[in-house]
């Protein structure tokens, strides 16, 4: 079948076989998990409805039927990987990682043994095996490709008899870069008796653990050509279903793994009162502890039949063989498009770390027009707004990550000491990226997936010439709206008239926050119902009234809770706060449907902004946020072909303290150095960087893609998406801000 024919067929399958929700997303993370077609899943459950399957350890008719199906699947797995059940046994595991762990904990490491990994593609699941080796006083090493190949070329048989067992572990294909490694290494390594790491190790018999998790998902494996001792795979990466099922293929003539623990199903006899048991004879019977996920195994057999058939192939091996060529074809198209995409000044939009002909992976980072790195979290955010699934970070592969990003182990330690962990969004530290972006293809990828990704790149990541901003000078501008947000991430309170200022900004602005049981503050991004919590401060009554649906809470402004906590985290920093009692917290917990606590900032502890060291309460970055009506209107016009409502709804999204109107051009606030509102003088701290917080729809309580998606098209500056300006007070004498006060700008 030609590529274009297959692409047309896949488009047809997606249109008829995938749900509307599935079609709405573009999946470019097949290396993590591919997708199974709904009609195939229907066949699985049709089989379950037609047959009774039960625990294979019983001797009932249903159990015998189940065992027969399981044995059939084992045989078909061997055939799928180019071998037979006579050569390999199949041990079912949870996933490929579980298979590798099983080898590590059962391998006879001892003093003088070696465990060797590939330096440039050291996945955590393989690296973890080193702990078993080192615990037994063995030696661990990571070698690069050149060292391995030169060692194998110089390999000479030693007349001394092997006295220990060594293990060499490597991937058939790197999950991070898509680079494939010679499976012929297996033959050379197994013929070795000498160690890799020198005379401190002993001569021994070498065994090979091949991680085929990524390779097998888009390539045919031929285990009768090169015969590693152990092979780990995960089936959801190949077929999309079932998850929670992998396998360890073990060569039957590799009688080296030592079972320590025994369980139900693994022994032929055991005594309850003395230490006596005898393990079962076959490899899978000894190593499959307890009852295997037999329904998943049977489901796998159905999927291996039906998914290839859906795509026009008679067997799964032919299907994967074509998928290998097809994904390589799509990868080449994407690679060339990325390679030929530049910023307005001609500089490349991305740095591609790996492209290998015939691979299904591209690993890269995106660049600004000045050549600096754009953090992967910015790219991920843009992808989310376009309903694109991709992978970012280090992909559990520190070996590839270190090589691509030129990071050292010392860099990793320093990053960790600074608080960076592998799943956070600290994507650039000291100018160096801490991770990268990976896109990967699968059987159901299409040419339209390429176009959708490239559209996102052009809309959000390619820098265009910034539109010139026309300053209006010091023309008549006034403060049209004034807001405070007493409880962080809850609804605004609009001020009618005037409002007092303090050293930390507007009186009571973000003086309260809501935290979870771990002490982290809650936000609308994860708890959209917070937008419905409406605080109202009555200065005359000395109270704040908090409406939560039909329930209202009264908070005395002059009283502070007596319980102090100092482990609350707000925007990455620890903050000391005062916790309210159960009568308050229970109302909030019931309304938000999560256990939470209202916390007031302690008046005894100051909190400062990171840059200017201005006093703030629980604000993120500054004392004030200001937007202009002109900028709001401009964005509103871009969002709708025909504007039918005012831009007031955007005020609710952007959550400013100050809205200014008058004779002002859109975004001319970008040029301001300082300003005066009435008699209150303020300095500009920075432009305001926007996140998905502005996408929370208060009416539907959902997180949408707008307005952030549109802003990314024309208001992106490097890794930031800008709208509004952050301000701090220049003077701290007691003053009030008044709605309709005149505003005077001083430009940079």
∠ CA 557-559-562 to the nearest 5 degrees? 140
Q: Please tell me whether residue 566 adopts helix, strand or coil conformation.
A: strand
Spatial contact of 330 and 26, defined as CB atoms under 8 Å apart: no
User: For residue 227, what are its two tokens?
Assistant: 């015969």
Residue 141: Cβ within 10 Å count: 16
Q: What is the distance, to the nearest Å, from the Cα of residue 698 to the centroid of all Cα atoms in its chain?
A: 26
* Long-range Cβ contact pairs of 602-607 (< 8 A, separation 24 or more): 602/560, 602/564, 602/576, 602/577, 602/578, 603/560, 604/576, 605/575, 605/576, 607/573, 607/575
Instruction: Name 377's Cβ contacts closer than 8 Å, sequence gap at least 6.
Output: 392, 425, 427, 719
- Whole-angstrom distance, CA of residue 98 vs CA of residue 232: 9
- Whole-angstrom distance, CA of residue 313 vs CA of residue 310: 7
Shortest CA distance to 266 belongs to which of 103, 91, 12? 91
For residue 182, CA distances in Å to 148, 173, 221, 463 come to 11, 9, 12, 41
User: For residue 105, what are its two tokens?
Assistant: 């904990």
3-state secondary structure 103-171: HHHHCCCCCCCEEEEEHHHCCHHHHCCHHHHHHCCCEEEEECHHHHHHHHHCCCCCCCCCCEEEEEEEE
Q: What backbone torsions phi and psi does residue 135 show, to the nearest 5 degrees?
A: -60, -30
Spatial contact of 405 and 433, defined as CB atoms under 8 Å apart: yes
- Whole-angstrom distance, CA of residue 231 vs CA of residue 253: 14
Which residues in 138-258 belong to E strands, given as ranges? 139-143, 164-171, 204-211, 230-234, 246-251
Residue with tokens 């001792």: 229
Clarify whether 396 is annotated catalytic: yes
Residue with tokens 């047309």: 8
User: For residue 381, what are its two tokens?
Assistant: 């955010």
DSSP state of 475: -
For residue 405, CA distances in Å to 352, 428, 663, 678 come to 11, 11, 49, 51
Sequence length of the chain is 748
User: For residue 246, what are its two tokens?
Assistant: 């992998």
- Whole-angstrom distance, CA of residue 212 vs CA of residue 226: 13
3-state secondary structure 672-685: EEEEEECCEEEEEE
For residue 223, CA distances in Å to 104, 284, 438 come to 21, 18, 28
Catalytic, out of 78, 311, 396, 691: 396
- Whole-angstrom distance, CA of residue 42 vs CA of residue 701: 33
- Whole-angstrom distance, CA of residue 516 vs CA of residue 530: 13
Spatial contact of 548 and 555, defined as CB atoms under 8 Å apart: no
- Whole-angstrom distance, CA of residue 99 vs CA of residue 213: 10
Residues serving a catalytic function are 396
């Amino acid at each position: 079948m030609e590529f274009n024919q297959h692409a047309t067929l896949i488009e047809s399958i997606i249109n008829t076989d995938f749900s509307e929700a599935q079609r709405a997303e573009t999946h470019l993370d097949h290396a993590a998990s591919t997708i199974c077609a709904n009609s195939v899943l229907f066949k699985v459950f049709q089989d379950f409805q037609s047959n009774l399957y039960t625990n294979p350890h019983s001797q009932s008719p249903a159990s015998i039927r189940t065992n027969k199906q399981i044995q059939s699947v084992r045989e078909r797995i061997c055939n799928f990987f180019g071998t037979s059940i006579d050569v390999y046994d199949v041990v079912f595991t949870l996933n490929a990682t579980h298979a590798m762990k099983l080898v590590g904990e059962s391998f006879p490491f001892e003093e003088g043994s070696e465990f060797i990994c590939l330096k440039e593609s050291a996945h955590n699941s393989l690296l973890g095996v080193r702990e078993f080796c080192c615990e037994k006083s063995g030696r661990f090493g990571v070698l690069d490709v050149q060292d391995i190949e030169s060692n194998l070329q110089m390999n000479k048989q030693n007349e001394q008899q092997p006295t220990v067992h060594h293990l060499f572990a490597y991937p058939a294909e790197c999950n991070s870069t898509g680079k494939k490694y010679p499976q012929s290494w297996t033959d050379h390594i197994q013929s070795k008796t000498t160690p890799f790491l020198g005379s401190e190790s002993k001569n021994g018999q070498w065994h090979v653990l091949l991680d085929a998790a990524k390779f097998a998902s888009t390539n045919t494996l031929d285990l009768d050509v090169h015969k590693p001792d152990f092979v780990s795979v995960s089936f959801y990466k190949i077929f999309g279903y079932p998850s929670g099922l992998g396998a360890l293929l073990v060569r039957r003539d590799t009688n080296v793994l030592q079972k320590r623990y025994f369980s139900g199903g693994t022994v032929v006899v055991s005594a309850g009162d003395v230490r006596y048991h005898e393990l079962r004879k076959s490899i899978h019977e000894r190593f499959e502890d307890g009852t295997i996920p037999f329904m998943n195994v049977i489901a796998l057999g159905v999927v291996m039949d039906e998914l290839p058939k859906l795509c026009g192939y008679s067997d799964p091996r032919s299907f994967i063989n074509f998928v290998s060529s097809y994904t390589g074809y799509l990868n080449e198209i994407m690679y060339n498009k990325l390679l030929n995409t530049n910023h307005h000044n001609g500089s490349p939009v991305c740095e591609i770390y790996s492209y290998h002909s015939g691979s299904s992976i591209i690993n890269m980072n995106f660049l600004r027009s000045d050549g600096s790195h754009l953090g992967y979290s910015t790219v991920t955010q843009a992808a989310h707004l376009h309903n694109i699934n991709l992978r970012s970070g280090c992909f559990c592969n520190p070996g590839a990550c270190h090589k691509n990003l030129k990071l050292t182990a010392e860099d990793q330690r320093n990053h960790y000491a600074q608080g960076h962990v592998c799943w956070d969004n600290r994507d650039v530290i000291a100018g160096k990226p801490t991770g990268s972006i990976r896109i990967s293809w699968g059987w159901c990828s299409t040419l339209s997936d390429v176009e959708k990704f490239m559209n996102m790149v052009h809309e959000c990541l390619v820098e265009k010439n910034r539109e010139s901003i026309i300053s209006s000078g010091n023309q008549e501008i006034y403060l049209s709206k004034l807001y405070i947000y007493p409880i962080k991430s809850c609804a605004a309170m609009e001020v009618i008239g005037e409002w007092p200022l303090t050293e930390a900004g507007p009186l009571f602005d973000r003086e309260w926050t809501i935290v979870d049981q771990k002490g982290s503050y809650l936000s609308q991004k994860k708890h959209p119902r917070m937008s419905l919590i409406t605080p109202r401060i009555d200065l005359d009554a000395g109270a704040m009234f908090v409406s939560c649906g039909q329930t209202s809470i009264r908070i005395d402004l002059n009283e502070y809770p007596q319980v102090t906590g100092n482990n609350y985290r707000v925007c990455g920093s620890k903050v000391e706060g005062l916790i309210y009692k159960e009568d308050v917290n229970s109302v909030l917990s019931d309304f938000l449907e999560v256990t939470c606590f209202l916390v007031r900032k302690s008046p005894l502890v100051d909190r400062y902004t990171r840059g200017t060291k201005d006093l703030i309460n629980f604000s993120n970055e500054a004392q004030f946020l200001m937007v202009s009506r002109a900028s709001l209107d401009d964005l509103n016009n871009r969002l709708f072909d025909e504007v039918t409502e005012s831009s007031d709804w955007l005020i609710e999204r952007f959550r400013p303290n100050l809205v200014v109107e008058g004779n002002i051009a859109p975004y001319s606030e970008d040029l301001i150095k300082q300003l005066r509102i009435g008699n209150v003088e303020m300095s500009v701290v920075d432009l305001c960087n926007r996140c998905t917080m502005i996408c929370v729809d208060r009416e539907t309580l959902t997180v949408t893609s707008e307005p952030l998606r549109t802003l990314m098209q024309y208001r992106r500056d490097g890794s930031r998406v800008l709208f509004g300006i952050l301000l701090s007070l220049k003077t701290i004498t007691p003053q009030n801000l008044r709605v309709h006060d005149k505003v005077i700008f001083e430009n940079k």
